[in-house]
Amino acid sequence: MLPLVAETISSPSRYRSHEVTAARAGRGSAFILILAMNETTTDQIADQQTAARTTMDILEIMSLLPHRYPFLLIDRVVEMERKQRIVAIKNVTINEPHFQGHFPDYPIMPGVLMVEAIAQTGGALLLTEIPDRDQKLMVFTGIENARFRRPVLPGDQLRIEVTVQQWRSRAVKMLGNITVDGKLVCDATVMCQVVPRVVKKAAEAPAE
């Protein structure tokens, strides 16, 4: 018997895609078409695509993290391995508001913001695995062994590499290293947890 070669054709334009599997026998030209219903929903497909990403632009990052200016501290994800590691880029610019007071004559990026950038980078990795992430927040639960090796100045580009040390379904422990031009400027171990997001109820109109 000649071996069978299988090809799968899927139609992404429908909410429920149909997969057509064509089995072709050896050198023969005959095709056997098998029409199978695929029960995967569009939301499940979106979750699978999110989890399979290896890079992210700023819009994709904003779809995961709730942070916004001036507290969104990563600009791009350049490497990502599911539940293992992630590398993000942060471009430091003089127009960031903390430089107005830290310090007026010698602008230095605060160390706590570098640790926050580590946590946000790890959060981008963690939240790709949370299906109901729009209803969740990622919060700090601990910081260990934070070290600030060199000052970070406007014009620097941070390379933030985060490696998972422990992974649970709703919590992670991660080691973060930040480099500028290949030189280590900050490293810290952070612990984060996913918690329910509190939704504010609309204020009721006073009774007349």
Q: By C-alpha distance, which of 142, 96, 136, 82 is closest to 118?
A: 142
- The DSSP bridge partners found for residue 88 are 77, 160
CB–CB of 154/110 below 8 Å? no
Q: What token pair was written down for 145? A: 């062994």
| Residue numbers annotated as active site | 102
Q: What token pair was written down for 32? A: 């056997």
Long-range contacts of 61-68 (CB under 8 A, 24+ apart): 61/124, 64/123, 64/124, 64/127, 64/128, 64/133, 65/120, 65/123, 65/124, 65/127, 65/138, 66/137, 66/197, 67/120
Phi-psi region of 154 (alpha: psi -120 to 50; beta: other; left: phi over 0): beta
